[in-house]
């Protein structure tokens, strides 16, 4: 059985509701999914999915790209993270790709807020970084994110960045991007990440892996990410399934397997 460590099945892209999505997961041998919060306005939907389905977990956080939304405080995040199905804080981090660099002071503040909330709740972080790896790692160090740990989600950076995140105790999660033809360098990183720090995800509805590239993604397709990584590493698929599932429940230690 596999776990999709990062999806957004609360998004309007899943207008058919969760039932067919969960049925497809079952068919593909995907036992659990972590539905990741991107803002506080939509958090009630994430929480409702986690309450409705034992094999769906939730996180609470505000994505670094999101503007014109409720700005989270440490207290607010800590309060929402008290829910027993909330297993992580995020997604948070830095994203200089979409926003002009001079406009991102608030992004850094928001990131620090999430790390402080994670340290308070003892729940791990889900970190998004894009075109901002050095600043992301610097803030992780300054705020002692290693004290609580977490995952670098949808990883697309170099081995050097992976190495620094691993040294801080973080896990590295690969999405469908690793199956894309252009991602040879990333495949090399996916080959090297220690087996006990590896996670897989879809980031659905985005980034559908080959052979679904360009279509709407869904948690069942995490199977294609795991298959590709098994192939890369010359390991049986079962080994990748078991390792990434063990890793998920070790990292998100308040998530129950039942
Ligand atoms: Zn995401």
CATH number for the region 2-251 comes to 3.20.20.140
What's the confidence (pLDDT) of residue 104? 82
pLDDT tens digit string along 138-197? 999 999 999 999 999 999 999 999 999 999 999 999 999 999 999 999 999 999 999 999
Which residues, at least 6 apart from 227, have a Cβ–Cβ distance to it below 8 Å? 237
Judge if the upstream peptide bond of residue 91 is cis by omega within 30 degrees of 0.
Answer: yes
Judge whether 4 and 222 are in contact, CB under 8 Å: yes
Element (H, E) at 47: helix 43-52
Could you give the CA distance from residue 142 to residue 158 in angstroms, rounded to a whole number? 21
Residue 147 Cα to ligand 1 midpoint, Å, equals 23
Task: State the greatest distance between any 2 C-alpha atoms of the chain, in Å, as a whole number.
Answer: 47
Residue 120 Cα to ligand 1 midpoint, Å, equals 23
Residue 192 Cα to ligand 1 midpoint, Å, equals 23
> Domain spans of the chain?
2-251
pLDDT tens digit string along 89-147? 999 999 998 877 666 899 999 999 999 999 999 999 999 999 999 999 999 999 999 99
Judge whether 147 and 174 are in contact, CB under 8 Å: no
Interhelix angle 133-142/159-167, rounded to 10 degrees, is 10
Residue 251 Cα to ligand 1 midpoint, Å, equals 18
pLDDT tens digit string along 40-79? 999 999 999 999 999 999 999 999 999 889 999 999 999 9
Residue 237 Cα to ligand 1 midpoint, Å, equals 25
Output phi, psi for 95, to 5 deg: -140, 100
Residue 128 Cα to ligand 1 midpoint, Å, equals 8
Residue 174 Cα to ligand 1 midpoint, Å, equals 12
């Amino acid at each position: 059985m596999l776990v999709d460590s990062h999806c957004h099945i609360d998004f309007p892209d899943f207008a058919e509701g969760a039932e067919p999505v969960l049925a497809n997961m079952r068919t593909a041998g995907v036992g659990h999914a972590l539905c990741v919060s991107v803002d506080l306005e939509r958090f009630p939907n994430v929480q409702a999915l986690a309450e409705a389905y034992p094999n769906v977990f939730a996180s609470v956080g505000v994505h670094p790209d999101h503007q014109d939304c409720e700005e989270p405080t440490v207290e607010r995040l800590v309060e929402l993270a008290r829910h027993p199905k909330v297993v992580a804080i995020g997604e948070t981090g830095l994203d200089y790709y979409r926003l002009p660099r001079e406009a991102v002071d608030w992004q850094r503040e928001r990131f620090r807020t999430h790390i402080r909330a994670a340290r308070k709740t003892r729940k791990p972080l889900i970190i998004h970084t894009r075109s901002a790896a050095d600043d992301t790692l610097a803030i992780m160090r300054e705020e002692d994110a290693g004290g609580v740990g977490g995952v670098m989600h949808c990883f697309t950076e170099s081995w050097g960045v992976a190495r620094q995140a691993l040294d801080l105790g973080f896990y590295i999660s690969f999405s469908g991007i690793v199956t894309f033809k252009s991602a040879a360098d990333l495949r090399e990183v996916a080959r090297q990440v220690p087996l006990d720090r590896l996670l897989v995800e879809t980031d659905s509805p985005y980034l559908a892996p080959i052979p679904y590239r360009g279509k709407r993604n869904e948690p069942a397709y995490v199977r294609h990410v795991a298959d590709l990584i098994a192939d890369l590493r010359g390991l049986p698929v079962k080994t990748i399934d078991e390792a990434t599932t063990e890793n998920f429940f070790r990292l998100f230690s308040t998530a129950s397997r039942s």
